[in-house]
Structure 1
Amino acid sequence: MPNRIAVSDLARAAYCPRQLHYARRDEDREPPPAVREIRALAFEYPTLLTASDDELSTRPLAATPTTYRQNLRRLSERDEWDVLTEPLDREVLLTGKDCRGVAHKLVGDPVVPSVVSPGMPPERGVWEPQRVRAVALAKALAWEREREVPTAYVEYPAHGVVRTVRLTTRNKAAYRRALRIARELDFVPPRLRDSAKCDECAYREQCGVKTRTLRSLFRR
């Protein structure tokens, strides 16, 4: 059986193989404190929903208090609200046939994994690296529990937004593509050209690309 690939490596492979190359050379791959603070919001939705403007202004939100509460109010009207706000477990290491990684939450009945992202959601759906991560964790959970896991969630708690990822043919193909890249990467991949992804990459200075902005968080 091939070595199991870290789920975080799969997300990076989907984002940019060159970023994965640099990350594998980096001894410290723990998320920075700012990322941990944003992820903590995902466990406080009911409190944040009723918090005052002053209270919300002290939290690492990426939306105004009014917009944030509106987003959480819409989330509270969804069937998933109860399972997302009362997870069965958190920070769970899942080990599958091909990959292993941490699900930030296990929720629901039947149980599915949830990925908590520090970044910004796209206008619709989920960014590909996060879709790959969600599919990987769903497949790992399915391997452990010996049952199908057809969906997963991706949460963007700084925005109060949660999206569903289904294990469609397209999403599973993206996962397999990232898995192949992560397994076969034994060289320095070429730089991306004229990509907005470079603006957001923590390794942009090592890579030597010219960027247009200095954003601090990955879409991962």
Structure 2
Amino acid sequence: MPSPVRISDISLYLLCPRLVYFQAMGRSVWPKAESPARLLLREVALSLSEFEPDGGSDLLAWLGEVLDRAEAELPVICGDEVNIHDLRAAAVEIRETLPEIATNLSPKLVLLTPSEVEVELRSDRLGLSGRIDRIVSRAGDGGTKGTVQIPSIIKTGSPPETGVWRSDRLRLAGYAMLLEDQLDQRVGSGIVEYPWAGEVREVEVRSSDRRRVLRIRDRVRLINGGKLPDRPREAPCERCPVTETCETRSTLASKFF
């Protein structure tokens, strides 16, 4: 039985299928490391599961404390991957926007709690695995008894004007299927968190997205087996760490056709 395809590999495929190929060859393929600001925002967002609004805590003050903690702990967590001076500058920038973030986020916290963060999921039946940012527990309604589990992912970039980005919708579909396999319970929606904007957006998990994830899973398996995929026109070549190798491989391949 082949190893499960990770949801992160599906995200990589959507960026460019050839990145999956070079990753399978052992190359470091993610275009760039996360910026200090995005690392800090992610830590703050993950900590939201600890916030207790009924305990009388002020969200703005609490976010400030969490940001201070993240600034102190990230050098320990990430080591040389993060520059202390850049981290400090990013913390200052985020701290200036915390009032707006808290205002936008406050009425939406109910969508994120209670929750469990950074949960590893795996399904040999589906051939998928991944680590989900957050699983939200929510009381069932209508014909659903007990609680329902909802996958949530954290995106530290800007949200679209409406809805969520297509790649995020597909990631949610993958995580929803993994949750369904584990819980034997239909997962009909997912959440994308955009902490920089204080946005929390819940979307339907579509059947078409589930199908697309499974087809990409099959393609990733072929690529991992040694098949060099075509490079899409919209591939982000200008910021790709394997551009030179990719160009060389394309030139060699063209000589045989």
TM bracket, shorter-chain basis: 0.7 to 0.9
User: In 1, Cα distance between the equivalents of 2:209 and 2:129?
Assistant: 18
Shift in alpha-carbon separation, 1:191–1:166, aligned structure 2, 3 A: same
Which residue is equivalent to 1:129?
A: 167
**Which has the higher Rg, Structure 1 or Structure 2?**
2
Identity of matched residues, %: 26
Which residue is equivalent to 1:3?
A: 3
Say which SS state the counterpart of residue 119 (structure 2) adopts.
strand
- Structure 2: state its 5+ residue gaps: 52-57, 69-87, 139-147, 248-257
Which residue is equivalent to 2:83?
A: none
Instruction: Give the TM-score normalised by the residue count of structure 2.
Output: 0.63
2:12 counterpart letter in structure 1: R
- Structure 1: state its 5+ residue gaps: 209-220
Shift in alpha-carbon separation, 1:29–1:177, aligned structure 2, 3 A: same
User: Does structure 1 retain, via aligned residues, the 8 Å contact 2:157–2:196?
Assistant: yes
Shift in alpha-carbon separation, 1:60–1:17, aligned structure 2, 3 A: farther
Q: Does 1:70 align with 2:108?
A: no
Q: Summarize deviations over 1:145-169 as a string: whole Å, max 9, x none.
A: 1111111212222332222232113
How does 1:36-47 map onto structure 2 within 5 Å? 36-44=39-47
1:156 counterpart letter in structure 2: Y
Q: Summarize deviations over 1:57-114 as a string: whole Å, max 9, x none.
A: 9545988945x64354233223xx1342x44321110112220000111112212121
User: Does structure 1 retain, via aligned residues, the 8 Å contact 2:104–2:197?
Assistant: no
User: How many residues get paired?
Assistant: 202
User: In 2, Cα distance between the equivalents of 1:198 and 1:72?
Assistant: 37
Shift in alpha-carbon separation, 1:196–1:113, aligned structure 2, 3 A: same
Q: Give the RMSD, CA atoms, in angstroms.
A: 3.5
Say which SS state the counterpart of residue 180 (structure 2) adopts.
helix
User: In 2, Cα distance between the equivalents of 1:61 and 1:133?
Assistant: 31
Which residue is equivalent to 1:13?
A: 13
Shift in alpha-carbon separation, 1:26–1:63, aligned structure 2, 3 A: farther
Q: Does 1:139 align with 2:177?
A: yes
User: In 1, Cα distance between the equivalents of 2:238 and 2:151?
Assistant: 29
Say which SS state the counterpart of residue 77 (structure 1) adopts.
helix
1:42 counterpart letter in structure 2: A
Which residue is equivalent to 2:115?
A: 88
Shift in alpha-carbon separation, 1:200–1:169, aligned structure 2, 3 A: farther
User: Does structure 2 retain, via aligned residues, the 8 Å contact 1:13–1:182?
Assistant: yes
Which residue is equivalent to 1:158?
A: 196
2:212 counterpart letter in structure 1: A
Shift in alpha-carbon separation, 1:42–1:77, aligned structure 2, 3 A: same
Q: Which has the higher helix share?
A: 2
Instruction: Give the TM-score normalised by the residue count of structure 1.
Output: 0.72
Shift in alpha-carbon separation, 1:132–1:62, aligned structure 2, 3 A: farther
2:220 counterpart letter in structure 1: A
Shift in alpha-carbon separation, 1:29–1:94, aligned structure 2, 3 A: farther
1:152 counterpart letter in structure 2: G
Shift in alpha-carbon separation, 1:121–1:181, aligned structure 2, 3 A: farther
User: In 1, Cα distance between the equivalents of 2:241 and 2:199?
Assistant: 24
> Which moved further from structure 2: 176-185 or 131-140?
176-185
Q: Residue 4 of structure 1: CA displacement?
A: 1.4
Say which SS state the counterpart of residue 10 (structure 2) adopts.
helix
Shift in alpha-carbon separation, 1:33–1:12, aligned structure 2, 3 A: closer
User: In 1, Cα distance between the equivalents of 2:122 and 2:166?
Assistant: 21
User: Does structure 2 retain, via aligned residues, the 8 Å contact 1:118–1:157?
Assistant: yes
